[in-house]
Chain A
Amino acid sequence: MNENEMLFSSGVLTGERKGAVSPPESLWNDKKGGLVVVECPQRIPCNPCNTSCPVGAIKTFADINDTPEIDYSKCTGCAICAAVCPGLACFVIDLSFSPDKALYKLPYEMLPVPSKGDSVDCLGRTGEVLAKGTVEAVTEPKRDRTHVVHVSAPKELARDIRAIRVVK
């Protein structure tokens, strides 16, 4: 097994795969509110991303084990899927946020819950600190203690930032 496959087998996405693709740049760049990024490359019996999306942007699964497929033209960036997905595998990234920053809407289930204005560490897929981000909003779409933290951070990290850590 090569290094990349080994890393993937331990839970780190290494390049795009079925169920884990980035939105097409042409739609993504100017999309107000952002687009969903799903990283769910394994066939598992699960579909709340589809059943929770209010606009049908995550296509209906023919088989509950299918990996998610997305109709980006419908996605509003509402991040409801991010709050519902039990795998914390749905993120929304808004590249239209500012000239140099993107708004990352990331699911968050740790303590403490940050507040607007806080500076947080933005983490990559192995927990490495990639940048500092600023919390722009914190929502709890389903009132079930999964928060979605909206963080502004450098745009060029859109393919890498996937979590935050609150530093006290």
Chain B
Amino acid sequence: MMKETTTDILVIGGGAAGLSAAAEASSSGAKVTVVESDLHLGGQLVKQTHKFFGSKDEYAGTRGYKIADILLDEIKQNEKNVDVMTNTTITGYYIEDGMFTAMRGEESYIRIKPKKTIVATGAQERLIPFPNNDIPGVYGAGAVQTLMNVYGVTPGHRVLMIGAGNIGLIVSYQLMQAGVEVAAVVEAMPKVGGYWVHAAKIRRMGVPILLRHSIKEALGDRVIDGAVIMELDDKFAPTGAERKIDCDVICLAVGLTPTTEILSQAGCDMRYVPQLCGFVALRDRTMRTSNPDFWSAGDATGIEEASAAMVEGRIAGLCAARSLGLPVKSDRFDEYWSRLDHLRAGEVGEKIRAGVAKVMRDRWED
């Protein structure tokens, strides 16, 4: 028979948001189960070798993978309340009986029936179509990071980066740190999308950032040996100016989209919000969705930052624990919201604020 377990709070995803949710909920005395597909906890954090932004409360100036260690240490303090299952993927939710199915490793299947659930499944990479994008040598930025920063393998010798958002800029820098040459970064917009300081870092190492440019096609027979890039006008139409770039890797960093299948299966009201980069669940200030037993946090609720993901995770963890009748320190709720408001206050937070305004509900009609 398939093994069946129960828990107070199931946290799906062991990244910045999920670990923060687990730390917060377990410190209030809830029994928490964290399920993570990967072989280890940490999510995106473990791949980030650069120092993070944000404020001291969110460990600014600390490298991403160290932040994962800090969160894991915090969880250890309430070890008896936290059960961690790595190498385990939630494969479905059956709303009729409130049951999750999960695959553990390659062979074993389990069923989990939690009282409450926090979905912190992060995001998936987007891809763009262009001729020959199926030739080996075309990678997503996440794959390049996993290869380099988790397994210590460089993807090639000379990379063309598509996209000058923070991910494209940071991965370019990390490639250079690993001794890989970055031929250029191309970006369709007239301005880098990521932080200016991240762009300045790679510019002063000699990497051109070609604004209003995109990839036209990849070149190569069995493997990539170059790419044709093209200039775009202010309506994003090709101007006709083209150029060949020698490279053996084309790395796509053209954005992420929230991973929300489980929320859809749970019947949560979803909405497509461009500013949050895809379909996301409507929520109240406790990060609860329209399904009263489901909370969500982190990139799954809209593509933002680890700093915000950690605070959202804490809010979700706190409120899920509170819903179980556990004594929680309520003043923390306001503190977390003031942190989130600070993080979102700036120029770059504008988009997030607009997106969140579209999905925030005052209260759910029970």
The chain A residues found within 8 Å of chain B, CB to CB, are: 1, 6, 9-13, 39-48, 51-52, 63-65, 84-89, 109-111, 123-128, 144, 146, 162-163, 165
Contact = CB atoms under 8 A, between A and B. Distances in A.
Nearest to A126: B203
> Which of the listed residues A46, A47, A63, A146 has the most CB atoms from chain B within 10 Å of its own CB?
A46
Interface string B320-339: 00000000000000000000
9 contacts: A10-B192, A10-B210, A11-B198, A42-B197, A44-B53, A45-B349, A46-B54, A89-B200, A127-B206
Interface string B110-151: 000000000000000000000000000000000000000000
A13 B200 CA distance: 8
Contacts of B351: none
Nearest to A1: B190
A65 B63 contact: no
Contacts of B56: 47-48, 51
Contacts of B266: none
> Which of the listed residues B54, B191, B342, B346 has the most CB atoms from chain A within 10 Å of its own CB?
B346
A47 B206 contact: no
Interface in B176-208: 176-177, 179, 190-192, 195-207
Nearest to B57: A64
Contacts of B292: none
B64 to A, nearest CB: 10
B336 to A, nearest CB: 15
Contacts of A10: 164, 191-192, 199, 203, 209-211
A13 B196 CA distance: 10
Contact of B198 (A45, A64, A87, A165): A87
A144 B63 contact: yes
Given A12-B200, A39-B200, A47-B60, A126 B206 contact: yes
Contact of A46 (B60, B190, B191, B344): B60
Contacts of A63: 342, 345-346
Given A111-B177, A124-B204, A127-B205, A6 B345 contact: no
Contact of A87 (B195, B203, B211): B195
Contacts of B211: 6, 9-10
Contacts of B200: 11-13, 39, 87-89, 125
Interface in B198-247: 198-207, 209-211
Chain A interface helix/strand/loop/mixed = loop
A89 B197 contact: yes
Interface in B77-118: none
Interface of B: 50-56, 60-61, 63, 164, 176-177, 179, 190-192, 195-207, 209-211, 305, 307, 342-349
A146 B173 CA distance: 14
Nearest to A13: B200
A12 B203 contact: yes
Given A43-B346, A47-B56, 6 more contacts: A6-B190, A44-B195, A44-B348, A46-B60, A51-B61, A126-B204
Contacts, number: 137
Contact of B61 (A12, A52, A127): A52
Given A9-B211, A125-B200, A127-B204, A86 B192 contact: no
Contact of A45 (B61, B204, B342): B342
A74 to B, nearest CB: 20
B53 A45 contact: yes
A45 B203 contact: no
Nearest to B205: A127
A126 B56 CA distance: 31
A52 B61 CA distance: 9
Contacts of A6: 190, 211
B176 A86 contact: no
A87 B348 CA distance: 15
Given A48-B61, A86-B53, A42 B179 contact: no
Contacts of A89: 197, 200
B285 to A, nearest CB: 20
Contacts of A48: 51, 56, 60-61
B192 A45 contact: no
